[in-house]
Amino acid sequence: MVYKKALICILVFVFFLRLPSLFEPFTYGDEGIYLTLGQAMRKGVVLYREIHDNKPPLLYLLAALTGSFSYFRLLLFLWSLLTIYLFFRLAQWLFPQNKPAIIISTGFFAVLISIHAFEGNVANAENFMLLPTIAGFLLILKNLKSKKSLLFFLSGIFFSLAALFKIPAAFDFLAALVFIFLLFFKKKLYAIRYTLYAILGFSLPFLVTFIYFFFQNALNQYLVAAFFQNIPYLSSWASKKSQALGLPLPLLSRTLLVALTTLVLFVWRKRTSSAVKLILLWFSFSLFAALLSSRPYPHYLLQVIPSLALSFGLIFRKSKEKIIPLFLVFIFSFSFLVFNFWRYPNFSYYLNFYQFALKMKSKNEYFSYFGSQAKVVYQVANYIQTHTYPQETIFIWGTQPSIYALSRRLPVGRYTVSYHIVDFNGYQETMEALKEKKPSLVIKIKEEKRRFPDFEGFLRNYYLKTETIEGIEIFRRT
């Protein structure tokens, strides 16, 4: 009964933390990309072959199933509540009969994944991949007594689903494999068998996607976009100065930290509990994954929060383990500062919403908190809807993909934002699409500073500026 009351209180608190996400304007760039690709899939466009982004397919599949920003955010809202429940169950298995450890760790987890500081309000891949990752670890813990190979296989499937939201989740699976190996080291045949079953389960969903895109004649585009193309893309923010063996020194140092953690746990495997093994392995591998690209986006750190939150449960265990959460909090905070992660305010974010909810602010005042573009993208999307037919295509030169999704119009070519055209050298491909399809409208975002000379010439020759909305220029085909 105590557990149930505590969980209900946590979920009610999370409800009010996440409620603003259902009402705020949908101007977050990545969500705009996901919804644009999802809407394209609903219209029969082949993912990767005919429209592009650089993540595995599950996120776009969810966007396609929901079809709109409102339903996409609602799905995240419900998904997060289920994620918190599974984490609660995981904490119960990790800290049996330890009520304070279970409640405190669950409370920290629920709050940290929900607040604006880590973009818990945004439907990013990290928010979705937490659920299958936690489910994978939960199955392993439940299986320590029964030792059924099938459960390790199912665990691998869940980890694979997490990685099909975003590839860095595969590092959580590596942590799980090391955890299995350490637990069954004395019985090597069991360790090998369970590891192989987990790897087989992990491989199966990927194999299904390979087969599917092969028959869609898009396997090569899928492999390049979701896997190979991300290698230089992930390192594009890393320093080129501090390197050794052709690799950035920070990356090498983090690799050494993971290896050292694994080695220490192996040497002290008889002296450390299963909880300590799981927490330290999960934390070190997930932090490595979150910092892999050196990009300062706070939602990357969501991957680290489950293990960090679980460490707070160790405070209520034997004395030697109490120092671990302090150590992990220090590393987490140090990483946040060193990599200069972007900071999003919490108090003003929630104050802005609840002032609006209590009618202390108008809708325009509420929207203005999110920047000058918040209202403009809706105006531009409305203009597009009233001046084009649903089957017509448009082209946006800039980084406002939400306009595509809000207007429910598809882009010309595979790319939804200018930085993809630049980063993936899609100039020629985009120009060929523009010349072939000649979109009804072309939108230029004033903040876009990247150069595309061929596009500028094409625009002058075939289009006439008909409208300017807060600096966003709209051109119609002549």
Rounded Cα distance, 77 and 185, in Å: 40
d(CA 107, CA 101): 10
Res. 20: pLDDT tops 60: yes
Q: Using the predicted structure, report yes or no on whether residue 74 has a pLDDT greater than 90.
A: yes
User: Distances from the Cα of 7 to the Cαs of 14, 79, 94, 111, 317, in angstroms?
Assistant: 10, 16, 17, 12, 21
pLDDT tens track for 387-399: 999 999 999 999 9
Q: What is the DSSP string of 88-157?
A: HHHHHHHSTT-HHHHHHHHHHHHHHTTSGGGTTTS--HHHHHHHHHHHHHHHHHHHHHH--HHHHHHHHH
User: In a 10 Å sphere around its CB, with 0-12 CB exposed, 13-18 middle and 19+ buried, how is residue 431 labelled?
Assistant: middle
Whole-angstrom distance, CA of residue 387 vs CA of residue 206: 42
List the single range of 122-126, 157-161, 163-167, 228-232 with lowest mean pLDDT: 228-232
Q: Report the pLDDT averaged over residues 148-166.
A: 94
CA–CA distances in Å: residue 470 to residues 373, 377, 446: 8, 10, 9
pLDDT at 447 over 90: no
260-278 mean pLDDT = 90
> Domain residues of the chain, as ranges?
2-338, 373-477
**pLDDT score, position 248:** 62
Contact 226, 55 (CB under 8 A): yes
Least confident range from 73-82, 170-179, 207-216, 362-371: namely 362-371
pLDDT attached to residue 168:
94
pLDDT at 431: 96
Question: What is the pTM (predicted TM-score) of this model?
Answer: 0.94
Tell which residue, 144, 121, 120, 116, has the closest CA to residue 69. 121
Total Cβ atoms within 10 A of residue 453 = 8
- Most confident range (mean pLDDT) of 179-193, 226-240, 272-286 is 272-286
CA distance 347 to 350: 5
Cα–Cα distance measured from residue 419 to residue 398, given in angstroms and rounded to the nearest whole number: 8
The rounded distance, in Å, linking the Cα atoms of 64 and 7 is 32
Give the pLDDT confidence score for residue 254 in this predicted structure: 81
Average pLDDT, the chain: 91
Per-residue DSSP letter, 49: T
Q: Taking residues 295-321, what's their average pLDDT?
A: 93
Report, as an integer, the average pLDDT of 214-235. Answer: 83
- For range 227-255, the mean pLDDT: 63
Secondary structure letter of residue 64 according to DSSP: H
- pLDDT at position 252 over 80: no
Lowest mean pLDDT among 76-80, 191-195, 454-458: 191-195
- What integer pLDDT is reported at residue 257 of this predicted model? 86
CA nearest to 259, candidates 242, 275, 281, 278: 281
- Cα separation values, 475 from 382, 389, 457, 461, Å: 15, 16, 13, 12
Q: How far is residue 288 CA from its own chain's centroid?
A: 15
More confident residue, 230 or 340: 340
Residue from 10, 34, 20 nearest 401 by CA: 34
Tokens of 262: 């694994």
Phi (first) and psi of residue 431, to 5 degrees: -65, -40
Mean pLDDT for the stretch of residues 210-228 = 94
**Taking 70 as the threshold, does the pLDDT of residue 188 lie above it?**
yes
- Residue 276's pLDDT is 94
Q: Under DSSP, is residue 258 helix (H, G, I), strand (E, B) or coil?
A: helix
pLDDT band with cut points at 50, 70 and 90 for residue 60? very high
Q: Residue 438 has which token pair?
A: 């000649």
- For the residues of 271-293, what is the DSSP string, one character each? TS-HHHHHHHHHHHHHHHHHTTT
With a cut of 90, say whether residue 237 has pLDDT above it.
no
Amino acid code (one letter) for 464: L
pLDDT at 238: 54
d(CA 400, CA 347): 27
pLDDT at 242: 56
Distance CA 401, CA 407 (A): 10
C-alpha pair distances (Å), 392 with each of 33, 36, 378, 388, 440: 18, 14, 19, 6, 7
